[in-house]
Copies of this chain bind each other. A is one copy, B any other.
Amino acid sequence: MRDFSRDHDWLSINTATVRQSQGQPLPLPAILDACAALGIRAVSPWRDQVQAAGLDAVARQVRALGLALSGYCRGGMFPAADAEGLRAARDDNRRAVDEACTLGAPCLVLVVGGLPGALQGRAAHKDIAAARAQVRDGIAELLDYARAARMPLAIEPLHPMYAADRACVNTMEQALDLCDELDPLRTGALGVAVDVYHVWWDPKLEQQITRAGRERLLAFHVCDWLTPTTDLLNDRGMMGDGVIDIPRIRGWVEAQGFAGYSEVEIFSTGNWWRRAHQQTLATCIERHRSAV
């Protein structure tokens, strides 16, 4: 297992972590500058932030600053209530692959979607098995496109509390079953993003990380689970402030040969998004060394 205690060479910042600074939106160009100024070598940007700043401008800035990407957030949201919705999702996912290529991302992270309409509080139906079938078909179709573009797809199993509205792939086992079905030869074109927040509770986690192996482990995300957690989406904790044994999980991932970035992804309306982003980033660096 790599020693993170003496530097932050393998720290990446998911740009959602400093999406807000002192409660105000922080544009992506400012985020990238702030990361580079602190010697952070990698980031994982969100599509909405990239779109607001302009794709080509962001790509130029990333290159000029010498930043690497640890992923691109995000494709997915495959299920839809009708054929038009499915087509729109397909087209949007292809654009996400193209953008990931332009930015030089190592993978496109997939948050696969849940019951159509549930995120808006109006689920079109209650058939989660049907939604899962649409996810399977959507990934299968996107995989052809992504292979041609040489852009690996990383399925991110989301915590079961998001099964209805954000992702109906909720365990590593389920994600790896999809990988085995759609990429049986383990080509590296399809794998998983392991986010400790989503999977730490899983009694089969170590077993499934071992099953994933080097070829399927495409990204590693960290934050922490707070007790109590006061919001289902935006109350993630800073590493070390919660109950997740992050070093143990990182040890399992690295035992399979994963040697990439540890990407900090924190959504925190009540705490970190209220602070100055410089303080949040400095804390990420400190905790990367002491708690990851």
Contact of A245 among B127, B203, B227 (CB under 8 A): B127
Is A171 a contact of B203 with CB atoms below 8 Å?
Answer: yes
A174 on interface, CB distance cutoff 8 Å: yes
A interface majority secondary structure: loop
In the complex, the chain B residue whose C-beta lies closest to that of A198 is: B160
Bound CA–CA A53/B163 (angstroms): 39
10 contacts between A and B (CB under 8 A): A121-B228, A123-B227, A127-B245, A128-B200, A128-B245, A132-B203, A159-B160, A164-B242, A168-B201, A171-B203
Is A227 a contact of B161 with CB atoms below 8 Å?
Answer: no
Contact of A244 among B126, B203, B225, B228 (CB under 8 A): B126
A182 on interface, CB distance cutoff 8 Å: no
Residues of B within 8 A of A164 (CB): 201, 225, 227, 242-243
In the complex, the chain B residue whose C-beta lies closest to that of A119 is: B227
Report the minimum CB–CB distance from A267 to chain B (whole Å).
15
Assuming the A-B contacts A126-B245, A127-B245, A159-B160, are A203 and B174 also in contact, with contact meaning beta carbons closer than 8 angstroms in the complex?
yes
A115 on interface, CB distance cutoff 8 Å: yes
Residues of B within 8 A of A228 (CB): 121, 165, 232
Is A118 a contact of B243 with CB atoms below 8 Å?
Answer: yes
Bound CA–CA A200/B171 (angstroms): 14
Q: Mark A226-267, 1 if CB is under 8 A from B, else 0.
A: 011110100000000011110000000000000000000000
Contacts beyond the supplied A160-B161, A164-B227: 11 A-B pairs with Cβ under 8 Å: A126-B243, A126-B244, A126-B245, A128-B245, A159-B160, A159-B161, A164-B225, A165-B227, A168-B201, A229-B232, A230-B232
Bound CA–CA A119/B168 (angstroms): 28
Assuming the A-B contacts A160-B161, A225-B164, are A203 and B121 also in contact, with contact meaning beta carbons closer than 8 angstroms in the complex?
no
A202 on interface, CB distance cutoff 8 Å: yes
Report the minimum CB–CB distance from A255 to chain B (whole Å).
16
Report the minimum CB–CB distance from A161 to chain B (whole Å).
5
A271 on interface, CB distance cutoff 8 Å: no
Bound CA–CA A137/B167 (angstroms): 35
Residues of B within 8 A of A171 (CB): 203
Chain B CB within 10 A, most for which of A159, A168, A228: A228
Residues of B within 8 A of A49 (CB): none
Residues of B within 8 A of A119 (CB): 227
A170 on interface, CB distance cutoff 8 Å: yes
